[in-house]
Structure 1
């Protein structure tokens, strides 16, 4: 059974009730998947790390021992009370997807321990996934998709966290901060909590835009955002300087590639929205571009032709893999891509 609207998702996670005895939480935003799964687990059992009432499996466990999952769903709690069977599914194997879907169907039908709750965390499952189809269509299973947070979602999360810590941002400062945040839930929450520590929890202090800019200006993440913008803007030396500043502050090659990917995605999104008839300024706003960066973004959007921009998508993936697996210095690998993009931008007239 799909849960789509935020209120119904939050109500279920806060108080899961019968007849639902299983839940699939999936999506590319793995931070949001984990956050929601942890919240739900805490409502099912008193201690989600209790080895007597909680069983945590991975897709590798099921791959090596196909009967393991059904055995865990059948097992009774050693200490009495409700049992949680939690699986972290990240494999792309169709056979595993079907096997877990079959176990989910059987458990939802009451074939295993009725006091067990089956919680599945997965990545971005496509519509061809047997597991997703089973969860979407079974009234005893909650199916929750986790999409990237929109700017409004991030702003709401920021305000709520600041309020809990008895600090705040001015309206202009909030706009600046939200525009800088990544849309991946786990990373964004870490940045918000770090900001709270900077302001001073319980201080009741309100940070203005100037003070916030000073704070962000020395953040490694800010250096990467600037480096990515400079690279796509054809500013080779500033891009290299910002990139090396971020490296000196502890950022890795994979972080640098992620910053490029985020900038690339915004350019493509704005181009798509404009192609659909939406005005350039409105498209930039919808893509989460901060108003002070709007002119530069739109300049790049106009200049980057599709035939030159699209190949970069594959290069971003290949560079990310190379940073993680080749054993070569990841900083040099990512810097080479930055310089390559800056060179192409200059040839486009940027």
Structure 2
């Protein structure tokens, strides 16, 4: 079996065993998947700008015609040299396209397959992990240590410096998606301009709290019953590697805060006065007032119960966490829309 841990990915890809002729790079961090696939593809050919050496294939096309991948992998390059084939992510099954290459690996080309968050029992992941000539590489959201390395690398490349306190502050504001984090750092460095060092005042002025902002969008969508917004927000947070239990916990905290506020309203206080005591960011004042007007204490108590049971379920079965979170959040959003449990 050739399966590695997430923390081993960088080192393993930098010293790729020649016996591995197919590399599956998968995970919820789509930005990191793309970055690692691109780095590996460029390192596997002599000229990454030569379309005969680095071949890009659309995942949907490969899924529709599985033999295309094997045909391309077994094609002999016209001018010799190393070749790499990079297959873009798709929601369609790719096992039929990959199986022939696991049975008879290409001797001429390295095949790199990008994929989303594959469960442990996913057939494509399982097949690649079991094959001696394939490597499966997981990509999860950046930990603080990884973000610190990325910050140091980009700041140094820009010819600037950053102290430890500022670095930790910046890392705490970035989300789990590698490409999003890089864009935020690039924007920060442009803002810093000719200053020789990145300081906390620069960071506070230009870098948005990506993770918290996205979670706020999710929470407000749930209690407003905005299903399309909820769907997009959950997909974004899941792609960035946010744990389902953490996601549900964020919604539970809001439900408890709304319940306490609703009880104050029931006791005779005005909605606006109660919301004023919650010290919310300005953009969330209106959405919280709307939620208090829409949700009764009874409904909020029911929401707290549903969320508590869902969090327990994710702890008991982590593999089902995403499905449990989706079902629970959609149930609450429908409750907000309909006024009755479903």
TM-score (norm 2): 0.63
Q: Distance in 1 between matches of 2:92 and 2:330?
A: 17
Q: Does 1:46 align with 2:46?
A: yes
Query: Residue in 2 aligned with 1:122?
Result: 115
Matches within 5 A, 1:170-319: 170-200=163-193, 203-207=195-199, 209-216=200-207, 224=213, 228=217, 231=220, 258=233, 262=237, 268-269=245-246, 305-307=304-306, 313-314=326-327
Structure 1 pair 213–260 and aligned structure 2 pair: CA distance change class (3 A): farther
Structure 1 pair 50–198 and aligned structure 2 pair: CA distance change class (3 A): same
Question: Is the 8 Å Cα contact of residues 4 and 137 (structure 2) preserved in structure 1?
Answer: yes
Paired residues, number = 268
Shift of 1:267: 9.4
Query: Residue in 1 aligned with 2:265?
Result: none
Gaps of 5+ in 1: 237-252, 273-294, 297-302, 319-336, 345-350
Query: Residue in 1 aligned with 2:133?
Result: 140
What do residues 255-276 of structure 1 show as CA deviations (whole Å, max 9, x unaligned)? 995399759x68942987xxxx
Shift of 1:45: 0.8
Secondary structure, counterpart of 2:88 in structure 1: strand
Query: Residue in 1 aligned with 2:98?
Result: 101
Q: Distance in 2 between matches of 1:262 and 1:32?
A: 14
Shift of 1:60: 2.4
Q: Distance in 2 between matches of 1:62 and 1:260?
A: 24
Secondary structure, counterpart of 1:305 in structure 2: helix
Structure 1 pair 179–11 and aligned structure 2 pair: CA distance change class (3 A): closer
Q: CA RMSD in A?
A: 4.3
Structure 1 pair 135–267 and aligned structure 2 pair: CA distance change class (3 A): closer
Query: Residue in 2 aligned with 1:62?
Result: 62
Q: Does 1:84 align with 2:81?
A: no
Question: Is the 8 Å Cα contact of residues 14 and 39 (structure 1) preserved in structure 2?
Answer: no
Question: Is the 8 Å Cα contact of residues 228 and 260 (structure 1) preserved in structure 2?
Answer: no
Q: Distance in 2 between matches of 1:139 and 1:213?
A: 49
Query: Residue in 2 aligned with 1:10?
Result: 10
